[in-house]
Amino acid sequence: MTPGRLRALCLSFNAAVEEFPFGPDTPVYKVRGRMFALIRPDRRPLTVNLKCDPEDAVRLRADHPGVVLPGYHMNKRHWNTVTVGELPARQVRELVEDSYDLVVAGLPRAERLRLDRP
């Protein structure tokens, strides 16, 4: 998956926006003001920080050592850094969607209903 495809995937979700709070080289993808993905498109290999259920985070790290790591500069319990090119594109898409869904689940009910994701 290329940086452009990863960007397009992140922006494909309802109400997803791209912001640059950490500088022009670090796009952050948010829904209703809450981050669900952070990409460093200039880094090789390409990595993305994604929110993850704590139990799933531990399992993913064990299943993919060196590919899925505790979130770089993030809360290590809730975030993973994923090396994109080392996983099948389908799995990367699922991890991004899971991250988005976790963030949406933490929104107030009225916000979730506006997103069509109760």
Share of residues in the chain with pLDDT > 70 (%): 98
The 10s digit of each residue's pLDDT in 46-61 is: 999 999 999 999 999 9
Interval 89-104 mean pLDDT: 95
Residue 89 and residue 68: Cα distance in Å, rounded? 14
Check residue 110 and give its pLDDT: 86
List C-alpha distances in Å: 86 to 9, 22, 46, 105: 17, 26, 9, 28
Task: Specify the higher pLDDT residue, 110 or 47.
Answer: 47
Asked if the model's pLDDT at residue 117 lies above 80, the reply is no
Tell me the whole-structure pTM to 2 decimals: 0.91
CA distance 71 to 61: 11
